[in-house]
Amino acid sequence: MINNYFLLAFRNLLKHKNFSAINIFGLSVSMAVCMLIILVVQDQLSYDRFHKNLDQIFRVQSKDNLSKISFNKYATTTWPLAKELKDNYPFVRDVVSLNTSFNGEGICDERRFQVSGFFATPSFFNLFDFKLKNNPKSNPLDEPFTIVLTEDVAKKFFGASDPVGKVIIFESYGNLKVTGVIPKMKQKSHIQFEALVSEATLLALEKENKIHKISDNWEEFVSSFVYIMLNENARQSDLDTALVKISKLKYPENGRVNLSLYSTPLSKIVPGPMLANENGMFMPTGDCNHAVGCFQLYQPFNSQVPDEGKGIWDTKILWSIKRSADLTDSYRGSYSCSHLTSHCLINSSATCSCILRNEIHDASQDRPSSKYNKFSGLLHLRSNYRVMRRYYSGSIRIISESCERV
């Protein structure tokens, strides 16, 4: 019995060589891309999983209520927010502030290299599980004008020698003493940096007017990241309630800056929604959905056009359109207009390809010419045109409504 199935399949392949080649090629490419997407998603899900208190750490993010563009959510927030939460809310166990302003050329023994990183609060190594070489007894970020380097940067400046205690000269920041080295890690983190400079250095530079005010500036929200560790019994809803209260207190509706603050678990930053000022490079959740949407292109071609019974093929086309429309409709209110536009174009292209292929197939059939067949063909072409017009109209309507909502 099973031999007959294989024989029938082989005969069908030979009978429809062109369609079989297209389907086999499409299936091969689709499976290869699917495996690639699985590997990429698996890599993205491995970020930040090495922190012991992963479930208790959250990042505070901002929404600019005065922004006139749809891309108004930021991964950054204000530096003084960390102190406000630590001092006034007992459910907060620890806080970390990171500022991206540190960037300059370092000089040591005639070696010059560009170094970028963060100004960081001393609690950085208490909240995150980044290890230090030689396990220093004191916190390496306690004192002013101190810097912690990654292993790669330390090797650039000092080679194989021990860099701890040595000085790197920065034109904008003065002489910074190396107090620690972070070794290479197999684990991945969304926090990407080459160096960490102590918060005390930031405060000293502010007093000397070498950098603009950050530590007490509630209006500057595009260069600082704030991470919160909650107590074991605290919940994210407690933190969000506090952030709403702070937002109303610090940002009146008629102010120059109007922010809404909210929290995101550390485990959901990568992969996560697309945000402005994100730290590091990784795939947003929307791109994962687009990758899945691209498989809609293959779906209409994964079965050959039957010789008889055009209604079966029409059903496949309409089913593909419905599935595309349902998936596109699920994006409403979740992504920017550019996301919706690209998704609609992908699925609309697939639909038009189906219909065009159907018409070409009709033209290639050796059927007796008759008035009935010509009239039926015109009706069928008109019906397909209506389907295309209805689908495009629905796509444009979804995009318009989403843009208006944003």
Q: For position 12, what pLDDT does the model report?
A: 84
Helix 2-15 to helix 17-44 angle, to the nearest 10 degrees?
110
Could you tell me if 86 and 95 are in contact, meaning their C-beta atoms sit under 8 angstroms apart? yes
Place of tokens 């929404």: 63
Q: Does 324 score more than 60 pLDDT? A: no
- Cis omega before residue 122 (within 30°)? no
Kindly report, residue by residue over 381-395, the tens digit of the pLDDT.
445 445 555 544 555
Residues forming a β-bridge with 299: none
Q: For position 386, what pLDDT does the model report?
A: 54
Average pLDDT over residues 236-244: 96
Average pLDDT over residues 2-22: 85
74: Cβ contacts below 8 Å, ≥ 6 apart: 61, 62, 63, 64, 221, 222, 275, 276, 277
Q: For position 174, what pLDDT does the model report?
A: 93
Kindly report, residue by residue over 102-111, the tens digit of the pLDDT.
999 999 988 9
Could you tell me if 190 and 281 are in contact, meaning their C-beta atoms sit under 8 angstroms apart? no
Model confidence at 5, pLDDT cuts 50, 70, 90, reads: confident
Q: Does 309 score more than 90 pLDDT? A: no
Q: For position 68, what pLDDT does the model report?
A: 81
List the domain boundaries for the chain. Answer: 54-268, 285-405
Q: For position 364, what pLDDT does the model report?
A: 44
Model confidence at 363, pLDDT cuts 50, 70, 90, reads: very low
What is the distance between the alpha carbons of residues 241 and 85, in angstroms, rounded to a whole number? 12
> Sign (positive/negative) of CA torsion 298, 302, 307, 310?
negative
Give CA angle at 37 (33, 43), nearest 5°: 145
Q: Which amino acid is at 48?
A: D
Task: Indicate the range of 42-46, 89-93, 259-263 predicted with least confidence.
Answer: 42-46
Supply φ then ψ for residue 298, to 5 degrees. -85, -30
Q: For position 282, what pLDDT does the model report?
A: 62
Q: Does 234 score more than 90 pLDDT? A: yes
Instruction: Please tell me whether residue 128 adopts helix, strand or coil conformation.
Output: coil
400: Cβ contacts below 8 Å, ≥ 6 apart: none
Where does 132-212 show beta strands of DSSP type E?
146-150, 167-170, 174-182, 195-198
Share of the chain above pLDDT 90, in %: 48
Task: Indicate the range of 28-42, 244-258, 330-344 predicted with least confidence.
Answer: 330-344
Could you tell me if 347 and 324 are in contact, meaning their C-beta atoms sit under 8 angstroms apart? yes
Q: Mean pLDDT, the chain, as a whole number?
A: 78
Q: Does 360 score more than 80 pLDDT? A: no
Q: For position 333, what pLDDT does the model report?
A: 41
Kindly report, residue by residue over 64-84, the tens digit of the pLDDT.
999 887 778 999 999 999 999
Q: For position 393, what pLDDT does the model report?
A: 56
> pTM for the complete prediction?
0.71
